[in-house]
């Protein structure tokens, strides 16, 4: 069970190519008012950490449910998954059935977890964001709300994942955004739809030279430099409209993109934040308002 009023709960965001897990510990005994007069926060909220997995099978999900998603259950999966010893360090004793706050862009895993008693599925209509449209991805909505909660409004979220998405909002109201293939998706598509171009592994440890002298280098240059130019253009346009607005990079390639912007355009990079956990902050807002 939990220690005192400390409640350990889990967050899960299921994307197209990866599953993102997080853990929080909250004191649910009461609400602490915020100094700025906004929505009160749960007392003693503490972020315990995150981990990321490839998509799990139904059998793996059932194993985790039987063991209440406890850290020891992950090593029993086939194949096993090892969680970092530092994860959840100092947390309360693992509860019998921790709350699992779930948002998914894929339907099947939600069905697999439907029988879990402490499941709280968050759909788009339950995200506290105004001016949305029916096909807006719940992951984008959560990231925007999470960014606004942590970094303040107005805010532009740039998610550098399987898809590269731009999502902008003011005062918990969606302004709009854009979607295009992410870096890895572009590499795969170029190989899949041509006869002669090779399959390449994306290496962001060193940004390629612009004027390449071989095919592999030309592909890397074309995709990476034009992607970076597009991102910088969106940031410049955002700042023209909202000079005091925040800019937050997230997603699997967010850190590398941030590093490239800082190196190639230091002036533009000033004021850009990198936060890989925006979706979890969004789920935290949903839980806070739902209790």
Beta strand extents in 70-130 (DSSP E only): 100-104, 119-121
SS3 78: coil
What phi and psi, each to the nearest 5 degrees, are found at residue 277? -115, 25
How far is 223 from 194, CA to CA, in rounded Å?
A: 15
Residues 53, 57, 59: CA angle, nearest 5 degrees? 125
SS3 220: helix
Catalytic residue among 28, 36, 139, 241: 139
Looking at residue 170, what DSSP letter applies? Answer: E
Q: 95, 74, 81: which is closest to 25 by C-alpha?
A: 95
- Residue 233 appears among annotated catalytic residues: no
Q: Which residues pair with 168 in a beta bridge?
A: 156, 176
How far is 194 from 200, CA to CA, in rounded Å?
A: 13
Contact indicator for 122, 164 with CB cutoff of 8 Å: no
Calculate the CA 111 to chain-centre distance: 22
Instruction: Tell me the catalytic residues.
Output: 139
């Amino acid at each position: 069970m939990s220690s005192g009023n400390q409640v350990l709960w889990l967050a899960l965001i299921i994307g197209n190519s990866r599953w993102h897990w997080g853990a929080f510990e909250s004191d649910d005994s009461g609400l602490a008012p915020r100094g700025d007069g906004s929505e009160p926060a749960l007392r003693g909220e503490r972020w315990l950490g995150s981990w990321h997995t490839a998509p799990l099978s139904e059998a793996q999900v059932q194993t985790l449910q039987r063991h209440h998603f406890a850290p020891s259950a992950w090593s029993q999966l086939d194949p096993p998954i090892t969680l970092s010893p530092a994860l959840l360090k100092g947390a309360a004793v693992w509860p019998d059935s921790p709350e699992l706050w779930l948002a998914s862009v894929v339907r099947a895993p939600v069905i697999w977890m439907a029988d879990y008693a402490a499941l709280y599925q968050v759909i788009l209509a339950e995200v506290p964001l105004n001016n949305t449209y029916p096909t807006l991805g719940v992951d984008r909505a959560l990231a925007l709300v999470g960014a606004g909660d942590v970094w303040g409004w107005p805010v532009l979220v740039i998610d550098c994942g399987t898809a590269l998405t731009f999502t902008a909002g003011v005062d918990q109201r969606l302004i709009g955004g854009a979607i295009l293939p992410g870096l890895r998706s572009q590499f795969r598509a170029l190989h899949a739809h041509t006869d002669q171009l090779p399959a390449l592994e994306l290496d962001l440890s060193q940004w390629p030279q612009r004027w390449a002298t071989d095919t592999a280098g030309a592909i890397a240059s074309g995709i990476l430099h034009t992607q970076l130019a597009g991102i910088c253009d969106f940031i410049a346009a955002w700042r023209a409209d909202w000079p005091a607005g925040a800019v937050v990079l997230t997603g699997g390639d967010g850190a590398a993109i941030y590093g490239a912007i800082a190196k190639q355009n230091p002036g533009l990079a000033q004021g850009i934040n990198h936060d890989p956990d925006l979706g979890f902050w969004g789920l935290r807002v949903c839980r806070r308002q739902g209790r």
